[in-house]
Amino acid sequence: MDRDTVVLAVVGAYLAVNLAVGLWPQRKGGSSDAAGYVAGDRSLGLLVMYFITGATIFSAFAFLGMPGWAYARGGAAYYVLAYGVLGFVPFYFLGPRAARLGRVHGFVTQAEMVAHRFDSRAIAGIMAFVSVAAFVPYLAIQMQGAGYVLSALTHGEIPEEVGAGAVYLVVLIYVLKSGVLGVGWTNTLQGLFMMGLAWGIGLYLPHVLYGGVGEMFRRIEEMRPGFLTAPGLTAGGEPWSWAGYSSAVLVSIVGFSFWPHLFMKAFTAKDDRTIRRTVVLYPTFQIFLLPLLIIGFSGVLFELAPARADQIVPHLLVNLELSPFLVGLFCAGALAASMSSGDAMAHAAASIAVRDGLVTSGGLRPAPSGERNLIRAVVVLVMVASYVLAVTYEGSLVGLLLLAYGPVTQFAPAVVATLCWRRATGPGVLAGLLAGAAVNLVLYLCPEWKPWPLHEGLYGLVLNAIVLIAVSRATAPRDDRAWFEVAGNGR
């Protein structure tokens, strides 16, 4: 059996197992309405909650983009660890409040919750639009990563667009069939698989190339002094400023908990204790990002350069002529990383588009089973849009990720005000969202207008909060005593 056949056999077996696991929850029954499809009947326990949130950071970005940054930009890649440790902390305080409100009012999305508090269809519509706009590039990262891996490890026999399409056809099938329960159980399988594989390859490659991890870092520092030190380099190879580095970390920390597909997990947990335990355990996933950085650094002094920095890991595996079975396992692990994020994003984007954009904002009133079928149709549309972007975008995976974080960060003031500030008003939240999203978009399109080299999402966030507070102070609040009796005390 030739090398490529072995690689594809391993990958095919892994995809088949994932499909079986993703379809299994549907055989066990469950609600046929949209709430069951989106929130899993609010039944997820600690194990699945841990992996459905933790496996999200093990995306194609983690297996390809982050090693690519370590390879090309050195210490700049540390920003991922910085925001990953702290990014979920707000959820410890906000998640249980949202969960209590969700159990009483039947919420399954964060925009639905915000719109209900302020009785504003417009808020739900804007949050739905911004969410889907942010999800498409984030999902495109996952598809692009899947295509990269299959193409590189088969020496181009499988074109990137074909590989991405084949992998996400599997994802599409189990997301359409089983909803969030299919996402949860496949994420558990993928998370366990990726943890073991990351450390295995992360220790093996430095050993083969340098004789060990310590010797690898010693030689890199000797040959490229300062390369391993933060803040590292820009995409153009120039020193990255501490302002740019710090703002990327800050925007990522603020935006992390407010990604809709993560925040929605508050509505799937069976109790508040499960949410808090998940947040406490979440930083342990950073342990499994460390070997991925090591893999990227292991290619820094490799004599043959990849066509793109994001391809450094498959490039090393191909050129070192490793066992095809090991190469197949890595390929499966990279696909697991892509799928464990992509399935959650596709499911969340479609759920938000329908629940928030059409039902809450647009006033559409489909039957429960009809709403579920509508979400399934939008899953297909979101995946098609993301696929088109994936096969046409030529920038880095990390750049695409940072682009997606800017809009999502604008949800932070609205959600915090909804759960914690009695004086907040609907006009204030709406005005803040519009102002923040507009500034983020304008500065992304016209970066020369920035007064300092900070992430555009940070400028939008500051203006968003100022406008929300100012307009709320100038408008009359609603009587929300009953709301805060359920959620908890607000100020």
Instruction: Spell out the residues 6+ positions from residue 482 whose beta carbon is closer than 8 angstroms to its own.
Output: none
Q: What string of DSSP letters covers 252-283?
A: HHHHHTT-HHHHGGGGTBSSHHHHHHHHHHGG
Specify the length of the chain in residues. 491
Which residue type sits at 418? T
Yes or no: say if 266 and 105 are a contact pair by the CB < 8 Å rule.
Answer: no
pLDDT, tens digit, 9 for 90 and up, residues 98-136: 999 998 998 888 999 999 999 999 999 999 998 888 888
Yes or no: say if 183 and 175 are a contact pair by the CB < 8 Å rule.
Answer: yes
Supply the pLDDT for residue 221: 94
Average pLDDT over residues 162-178: 80
Residue 197 covered by a domain: yes
Structure tokens at 337: 């990383």
DSSP state of 124: H
Residue 483 covered by a domain: no
pTM: 0.77
Q: Quote the mean pLDDT of the chain.
A: 83
Structural domain total, the chain: 1
* Pairwise CA distance, residues 217 & 204, whole Å: 15
* Pairwise CA distance, residues 353 & 180, whole Å: 16
Give yes or no for residue 44 having a pLDDT over 60: no
Instruction: State whether the Cα torsion 296-299-300-305 is positive or negative.
Output: negative
Residue 292 covered by a domain: yes
Window from 57-61, 105-109, 171-175 with minimum mean pLDDT: 57-61
Give the residue numbers spanning the domain of 360: 3-410
Supply the pLDDT for residue 39: 42
Yes or no: say if 177 and 185 are a contact pair by the CB < 8 Å rule.
Answer: no
Give yes or no for residue 218 having a pLDDT over 50: yes
Residue 447 covered by a domain: no
Phi, psi at 239, each rounded to 5°: -60, 130
pLDDT, tens digit, 9 for 90 and up, residues 65-101: 789 889 999 999 998 888 888 888 888 999 999 999 9
Supply the pLDDT for residue 467: 98
Yes or no: say if 343 and 186 are a contact pair by the CB < 8 Å rule.
Answer: yes
Window from 237-246, 323-332, 434-443 with minimum mean pLDDT: 323-332
Highest mean pLDDT among 110-114, 174-178, 183-187, 330-334: 110-114
Kindly report the CATH number assigned to the domain that includes residue 74.
1.20.1730.10
pLDDT, tens digit, 9 for 90 and up, residues 344-401: 788 888 888 988 898 888 888 877 678 878 888 888 999 899 999 888 877 666 666 6
Residue 404 covered by a domain: yes
Residue 470 covered by a domain: no
- Measured between alpha carbons, how far is residue 318 from residues 213, 359, 385 in Å? 21, 49, 31
Which residue type sits at 106? G
Residue 487 covered by a domain: no
Residue 431 covered by a domain: no
Residue 38: pLDDT band (50, 70, 90) is very low
Window from 12-21, 30-39, 456-465 with minimum mean pLDDT: 30-39
* Pairwise CA distance, residues 230 & 222, whole Å: 17
Average pLDDT over residues 456-470: 95
Residue 189: pLDDT band (50, 70, 90) is low
Instruction: For residue 44, give the 3-state DSSP assignment.
Output: strand
